[in-house]
Structure 1
Amino acid sequence: MRYLSQIFQPVITIPRDAIIKNTEITCKSQKLLLECGLVRPTSAGFFTILPLARRVLNKLETLVHHCMEEIGAQRMSLPSLTAAKLWEKTGRLQDIGVELLKVEDRHGKKYVLSPTHEEAMADLLADIGPLSYKQLPLLLYQISNKFRDEPRPKHGLLRSREFSMLDAYGAHTTHACASETYDRVTNTYRKLFDTLQLPIHRVAAPSGAMGGTLSHEWQLTADTGEDILDMCLKCDRVVRAETVNDVCDKCASEMKRVNSIEVGHTFVLGERYSAALGAHYTARETTPTPIYMSCYGIGITRLLAASVEALGNDKALRWPDAIAPYRLLIIGPKEGSKEWSIGGWEEVQRLGQELEQVGLAGDVLLDDKHTHTIGRRMKAADRMGYPIIVVCGRSTTENPPKYELYTSKAVGYTAPILLTRTELITEVARIARNGNIDIQLASKRLYVLGFHGFSPTISYRTGFRGFYYQCRNKSGMSNYVVEAPAGPGPGGARISPVNIENASYSVLKRYNDIVKSKEDKREYRILETVVDPVHELAGSTGEIP
């Protein structure tokens, strides 16, 4: 548990009537991250990441690690400097050219400050090879800082010269093997972005200077984005707006043009790098063959800024709940007030300790600026975008004392809910446990086994009645309806309740889409989550209004 006054957060306060003429501030994420004290520019395209932004990146990196490890990827670290001769061999030293930051050591050897590491990975595989076909497929990844000499660095962290990135590399025997890995990484990307509850779309794209046979961009829709997409208003078709796409080629419906930010990219590279740098594998009674490679990237610092672009407003930050700097802020009474005399600071601290114990360990922040009014502190909290705010206001003088609970919206916060201390702790615990849950499906009963720390996404699908869970087992991903009547399911298929006995699955998503129809008076069984291990999920029957 931290105190707000202890956070190193050099906030920039702009007078209310000030006229801003700084044309270098070009988007809201750049403006808000700077003014709220999360980043500080050092020179064009370079930034100091301050403590609150570092917490966001730590949480994001943790989610990425969990997702990558879950599909069998192994973490490693490659040096930032790569020998320029490797880039010459693959032809990218000339192809990328001036965007590469280059250095030369005292012996005259030339290096590249790598924007990506395909050459370094292929060189590593060549150095230890040839590999046996039994060692493949292999998936390695790292999260590290990359460098690019942007001609016009702008939009803050969205286009900087130094940036943090996940880059993963697959080594395979064939295109079919690479495609299987590609699908697994695609699924884990979807899981990650669903956890963040961001509107990110996978879009087919040219391979460009990277080369290869298959390429997809992962695009987050946002007004500030420099890329343009055409999105179908009816189906899930999304394409790059390289030509005029007025009508969807999938369902013939109208297309909508939107701006977007590229936050990730995936490639099947083939043999371009392995053949050039001598990375081979051997099979039974065959000569060494170039390894078939794939690669996968997510811009970590870019994703932070893009999240603010997508969720924030012109005056306030907003975060995906899973990566907010702190998930809960407690605002105590003003010093000297009646509420202060009754409870005081000690009572606020005790409340913070109790809330930390219900799933928010290390994620509770206490606003200890007691001399400021609650209204002033609430305004500052709104600007920071904490997902949950608890205010110890006038109602704490009642018997029993009541606390104000706020949750963030796109603009402002929800109307306060007055709760007793017990009710508050229960409600915060309910919110805090929105994590991925390992469940056992047995005779249509669900048992909680533990948490992975990922937030499930609620998705709305027209025409689907009841609940279904998207589960994953060793053979892949499957959808199962639990305690719901038969009805139209994903993709138009009709699916019914299932009975899965003695099987363990990992829940990726929980979809809740009950069609509210006045004509439809059937009852649906509502499943509620219970946190305690090995407890059956509670069920209640409700009627559709």
Structure 2
Amino acid sequence: MRYLSQIFQPVITIPRDAVIKNTEITCKSQKLLLECGLVRPTSAGFFTLLPLARRVVNKLENLVNQCMEEIGAQRMSLPSLTASKLWEKTGRLQDVGVELLKVEDRHGKKYLLSPTHEEAMADLLADIGPLSYKQLPLLLYQISNKFRDEPRPKHGLLRSREFSMLDAYGAHTTPACASETYDRVTSAYRKLFDILQLPIHRVSAPSGAMGGTLSHEWQLPADAGEDILAVCHKCDSIARAHNESKVCDKCASETQYVNSIEVGHTFVLGARYSAALGAHYTARDSTPTPIFMSCYGIGITRLLAASVEVLANDKALRWPDAIAPYKLLIIGPKEGSKEWSMHGWEEVQTLGQELEAAGLAGEVLLDDKHSHTIGRRMKAADRMGYPMIVVCGRSTTENPPKYELYVSKGVGYTKPVLLARTELITEVARIAGNGNIDVTVKDSKEKHVVEN
């Protein structure tokens, strides 16, 4: 159980009549995460994640780990620096070189800060190979910081030069084997986004510089998004807007264009990287054959910002319940008030312990700024968007004491419900239990034809 005064959260307080001249604030997630003390810019495109944002990222990573482990993926860690010569061999150093942050060591060897690790993974498989066909398929993943030299970083964490990302890599013997893994990862993605309760859509997309035979983007509609989706309300088709026509390819009805944020991407790569870097497996007939690869990404820090972008209002943060920094805040009486004399700090602490024991271990935050009025603290709590707020107000002087419970819904909170202590604990446990969604991933029924 934590106390609010102990949280390192450098909130930016803007005077009511201040004229804001900072034109670099370009979207509400950037504005709110900065002003509410969750992130701090260090230079263009680089950010410090402060403790509350770090808690959100930890929770996202835990959910990703659960979903990936459920489908048999194994976590590992690759170095952030990759030898430039590997990218030269695959041709990507020339294709995307301007986006790469490059370094050279004292011996003149050239490296790059990896934005993704297809070359590094293929080089690893080549180094330990050739693998036997009996060892495949393999699905390996990591969650780590990546780097991209964005020409114009903007929108805060939505387009930065350093970002946290899940990247997973499949190694297969055949296109059919790759297709089966692709479907399993697709199911894991859908489960993750269902847990977050975000309307994220999978749409076909070009493979671009990555190459390969199959590619899908995972898009979250949002005003700040730089991609555009064509949405058909007649047949529920959603696709990338690829030309000026607003006619749906599926049913010939008119579509609506909406902005969206890409939060994930999946590819079937084929043998582009394995053939170039010598990553082979030994087939049944003992023939060395290039490994058939696939890869999968989710922007962790981008997903954090995108969630805020979609759920928050202009003045207050809102979170998917599963990743809110803390699930419940308790606001005690103002020090020196009648309520304080009858339901003081010790009672507030005891209540916090009981609520943690009811299914919120490590998720209860106590507002110990007793010198401030309840109204002032409630306003600050609303701005932070805690999923549940318990207020120890005037009704705590009753016999038995009653507490006000506020639950975050949409852009605001529900009207307060007055509950006795036992009722409060039961209700909070019920709400917390509803948030514990089963993350078991079932095999997807979707199938794809993957060609060489």
Paired with 1:423 and 1:228, the residues of 2 have a C-alpha distance of 47
Residue deviations 1:358-397 (CA, integer Å, cap 9, x gap) = 1110000000000000000000001100010000000111
- The aligned amino acid for 2:46 is F
Does the 8 A contact of 1:165 with 1:300 survive in 2?
yes
Aligned to 2:11: 11
**Distance 1:436-1:346 versus aligned 2 partners, 3 A rule:** closer
Tell whether the 8 Å contact from 2:264 to 2:297 is kept in structure 1 after alignment: yes
1:477-488 correspondence runs (5 A): none
Conserved? CA contact 2:169–2:293, under 8 Å: yes
Counterpart of 1:185?
185
Aligned counterparts of 1:116 and 1:44: Cα–Cα separation in 2: 21
Q: 2:121 maps to which residue?
A: 121
> What secondary structure sits across from 2:409 in the alignment?
coil
**Could you tell me whether the CA contact under 8 Å between 2:40 and 2:47 is conserved in 1?**
yes
Deviation at 1:249, TM superposition (A): 2.8
Map of 1:110 onto structure 2: 110
* Equivalent position of 1:522 in the other structure: none
Runs of at least 4 residues off by over 3 Å: 251-254
What residue is the counterpart of 2:265 in the other structure?
265
Matched residue of 1:89: which SS?
Answer: helix
Structure 1 residues 477 and 159, CA gap change in structure 2 (3 angstroms):
closer
Query: Structure 2 vs 1, CA of residues 358 and 477 (structure 1 numbering), >3 Å: closer, same or farther?
Result: farther
CA RMSD, 1 decimal: 1.2
For the pair 1:287 / 2:287, whether they are aligned, the reply is yes
Aligned to 1:248: 248
Q: Give the TM-score normalised by the residue count of structure 2.
A: 0.97
- Are positions 1:131 and 2:154 aligned together? no
Contact kept? 1:38, 1:51, Cα under 8 Å:
yes
Q: Does 1:90 align with 2:106?
A: no
SS across alignment from 1:314: coil
Range moving further from structure 2, 238-247 or 318-327 = 238-247
Where does residue 314 of structure 1 map in the other structure?
314
Amino acid at match of 1:233: H
Give 3-state SS (helix, strand or coil) of 1:182's partner.
helix
Match of 2:34 in 1: 34
Deviations along 1:225-275, one digit per CA (max 9) or x if unpaired, are 000001111333111111134333334443111000000000000000000
CA distance in 1, matches of 2:158, 2:185: 24
Which residue does the alignment assign to 2:297? 297
> What is the CA–CA distance in structure 2 between the aligned matches of 1:237 and 1:47, rounded to whole Å?
37
SS at match of 1:389: strand
The whole-number CA distance in structure 2 between the counterparts of 1:207 and 1:236 is 24
Counterpart code for 1:426: T
Tell me what 2:449 maps to.
Answer: none
Partner of 2:217: 217
- Distance in 1, Cα, partners of 2:242 & 2:259: 13
**1:63 paired residue number:** 63
CA distance in 2, matches of 1:417, 1:70: 39
How far does the alpha carbon of each residue in 1:510-540 deviate from its partner, in whole angstroms, 9 at most, with x for none? Answer: xxxxxxxxxxxxxxxxxxxxxxxxxxxxxxx
Q: How does 1:367-446 map to 2 (within 5 A)?
A: 367-435=367-435
Q: Is 2:166 aligned against 1:143?
A: no
For residue 138 of structure 1, report the CA deviation from its aligned partner.
Answer: 0.2
Return the alpha-carbon distance in structure 1 between the equivalents of residues 296 and 149 of structure 2.
21
Give the residue type in structure 2 aligned to 1:105. D
Match of 2:448 in 1: none
One-letter identity of the residue aligned with 2:85: K
Q: Percent of aligned positions with the same letter in both sequences?
A: 87
Mapped partners of 2:192, 2:441: distance in 1: 14
1:165-180 alignment runs, 5 A limit: 165-180=165-180
- How far apart, CA to CA, are the structure 2 residues paired with 1:436 and 1:388? 15
Partner secondary structure for residue 413 of structure 2: coil
In 1, the alpha carbon distance for the partners of 2:357 and 2:373 equals: 28
How far is the alpha carbon of 1:435 from its aligned partner?
Answer: 4.3
Name the one with the larger strand percent. Answer: 1
Q: Is the 8 A contact 1:313 1:410 kept in 2?
A: no
Task: Determine if contact 1:142/1:167 at 8 Å carries over to the other structure.
Answer: yes
**Shift in Å at residue 472 of structure 1?**
6.3
**Retained in 1: the 8 A contact 2:187–2:441?**
no
Tell me the residue number matched to 1:227: 227
Q: Distance in 2 between matches of 1:421 and 1:436?
A: 23
In 2: Cα distance, 1:194 partner to 1:253 partner: 28
Q: More deviation in 284-293 or 81-90?
A: 284-293
Q: How far apart in 2 are the matches of 1:320 and 1:245?
A: 35
Deviation string 1:163-201 (CA, Å, 9 cap, x unpaired) is: 000000000001110000000000100000010001110
Aligned-partner Cα distance in 1 for 2:355–2:253: 49
Could you tell me how far apart the structure 2 residues matched to 1:251 and 1:363 are?
Answer: 48
Matching residue of 2:339: 339
What is the alpha-carbon distance in structure 1 between the residues aligned to residue 410 and residue 8 of structure 2?
26
Deviation at 1:301, TM superposition (A): 0.4
- Secondary structure at the residue paired with 2:95? helix
Per the alignment, residue 442 of structure 1 pairs with none
Give the counterpart letter for 1:387 in structure 2: P
1:122-178 per-position Cα deviation (integer Å, ceiling 9, x unaligned) = 000000000000000000000000000000011100010000000000000011100
The separation in 2 between residues aligned to 1:260 and 1:250, in whole angstroms, is 21
TM-score, normalized by length of structure 1? 0.80
Distance, in Å, in 2 between the alignment partners of 1:61 and 1:245 is 39
1:346-357 to structure 2, matched below 5 A, reads 346-357=346-357
**CA separation of 1:92 and 1:477: change in aligned 2, threshold 3 A:** closer
2:205 corresponds to 1:239: no
Shift in Å, 1:477: 5.6
Distance 1:190 1:431 in 2: 23
Alpha-carbon offset, residue 410 of structure 1: 2.9
Q: Distance in 2 between matches of 1:411 and 1:283?
A: 57
Partner of 1:23: 23
Work out the CA distance in 1 between the residues paired with 2:253 and 2:376: 49
Name whichever structure is richer in helix by fraction: 2
Equivalent residue, structure 2, for 1:200? 200
In 2: Cα distance, 1:277 partner to 1:312 partner: 46
8 Å CA contact 2:147–2:162 kept in 1: the answer is yes
- Please say if residues 230 and 245 of structure 1, whose CA atoms lie closer than 8 Å, have aligned partners that are also in contact: no
- The equivalent of 1:526 in structure 2 is none
The CA deviation string for residues 420-447 of structure 1, in whole angstroms up to 9 with x for no partner, is: 111111110000012456xxxxxxxxxx
Contact 2:57 2:304 in 1 (8 A): yes
CA deviation profile, 1:83-132 (whole Å, cap 9, x unmatched): 00000000000000111000000000000100000000000000000000
| Structure 2 match to 1:80 | 80
Aligned to 1:366: 366
